[in-house]
Amino acid sequence: MEHYESIIIGHISLDNNIDCQGNGAFVCGGAVLYSSACAHALGHRVAAVTKLAKKDYSRLEEFTIDPKDVYAVECENSTTMKNVYLTPDKERRNTKCLSFGDAFTLSDIPTNISGDIYHFAGLIYGDFPNEMIKKCAERGKVALDVQACLRRGDKTSGEMFFEDWESKYEMLPYIDFLKTDAAEAEIMTGTDDRYAAAKKLYEWGAKEVVITHNTEVLAYNGGEIYTCPIRARNLSGRTGRGDTTFAAYMTERLNSDIKTALLYSAAAVSLKMETPGPLKAERKDVDNYIKEFYGDYAK
């Protein structure tokens, strides 16, 4: 039995990214790619479980973790996205899903691996059935990026839109680590106050809540609300911000308190955002970033 600190489950997508000046590029993306890269860079042992058509197996070469820790499930359809960014900081975008990847099932997780955390790193509503999440909660801690519960795609046009998660009251008690961005938190709770939203999500059952924003990361587990600023020197690698943040936070939380985990998550994502693509670094690089830019917070 192979044991991992985190088993990250999600589609690796091919993204057609077009910036606000009309420049386009095809790159591999998806929360499973960015999350696994960050946790690995910090020295954690992680596995990636992904699902894609055989013709798209070249995408697997984009993972930065050891190939033996990537578990690919062959299916009929892979995920393909188109992102048109409306602003230079890439905070606003229009997204279309050009191809919807097949949904995951519990049987997609190999029977010879186990994890401290089962991280559901989906892209679109329908990637994961509720029962799969419940079953994984019996095996270890469950982490959920709520994007896969709110972001939906029109099967005909591919247009993406957001709706509240109708199963939130049923499912949040199964979630040990819940991640939303500020907009998603507002959709779920009805408030644009991130502090109030975090408290609501906790009251509804999530054991720890992480909310990302372009200025900071927030974490709450029923006690004090902690925040840590993002201090990236440029935003050329904005894509994958939330995935990087969440993966760093939850894996650091296995051995650290909230404040320390939050510091590492903010520093890791700040470093990552300075270069396009997943984080390619070592823990010492994040330590050095903390020394240079977070001396006030780390005291």
* Token pair of 88 as six digits: 């230079």
Q: How many residues belong to the chain?
A: 299
Average pLDDT over residues 243-255: 97
What CATH topology corresponds to 2-298?
Answer: UDP-N-acetylmuramoyl-L-alanine:D-glutamate ligase (3.40.1190)
Question: How would you classify the pairing of strands 151-153 and 160-162?
Answer: antiparallel
Output the pLDDT for position 27: 85
Residue 297 predicted with pLDDT over 90: no
Residue 69 predicted with pLDDT over 90: yes
Average pLDDT over residues 209-221: 96
Average model confidence (pLDDT) across the chain: 94
> pTM (2 decimals)?
0.94
Output the pLDDT for position 158: 87
Comparing 29-33, 92-96, 139-143, 172-176, the range with the smallest average pLDDT is 92-96
Output the pLDDT for position 91: 65
Give the integer Cα–Cα distance in Å for 60 and 12. 8
Average pLDDT over residues 55-74: 97
Q: Phi/psi class of residue 121: alpha, beta or left (left: φ > 0; alpha: ψ in -120 to 50)?
A: beta
Residue 48 contacts residue 65 (beta carbons within 8 Å): yes
Give the integer Cα–Cα distance in Å for 123 and 110. 21
Give the integer Cα–Cα distance in Å for 120 and 286. 25
